[in-house]
Amino acid sequence: MPPKKSTSTSTETKTTRGSKKKPTLQELQHEIEKRAYEISIERRSRGLHGDELSDWLQAETEIKEKYGL
């Protein structure tokens, strides 16, 4: 019986929060705009009060957290 090859765990890629490729400023702003729009639509569909600034700030927080910024 041939000997078993040892496997190395050092080549494994681990995904951690904030380990994604950092976006450019333009990509970051576009993603925040998109998420703020989604938040606005969700809020309005539920009949909740709010404003564009609150939607933007929430989106900004979520996206920055996503990239560990």
pLDDT in tens, the chain (69 residues): 566 555 544 443 344 454 568 899 999 999 999 999 999 999 999 999 999 999 999 999 999 999 999
In a domain, 4, yes or no: no
Q: What residue type is 17 in one-letter code? A: R
In a domain, 16, yes or no: no
Nearest to 45 by CA among 58, 55, 53: 55
In a domain, 15, yes or no: no
In a domain, 29, yes or no: yes
Q: Where are the alpha helices (DSSP H) in the chain?
A: 25-45, 52-67
Which domain covers residue 38, as residue numbers? 25-67
Residues contacting 68, CB < 8 A, separation 6+: 17, 18, 19, 20
In a domain, 39, yes or no: yes
Considering its fold, how many domains does the chain have in total?
1
pLDDT at 2: 62
Q: What residue type is 53 in one-letter code? A: L
Positive or negative, the Cα torsion across 36, 38, 43, 47?
positive
In a domain, 38, yes or no: yes
In a domain, 53, yes or no: yes
pLDDT at 21: 84
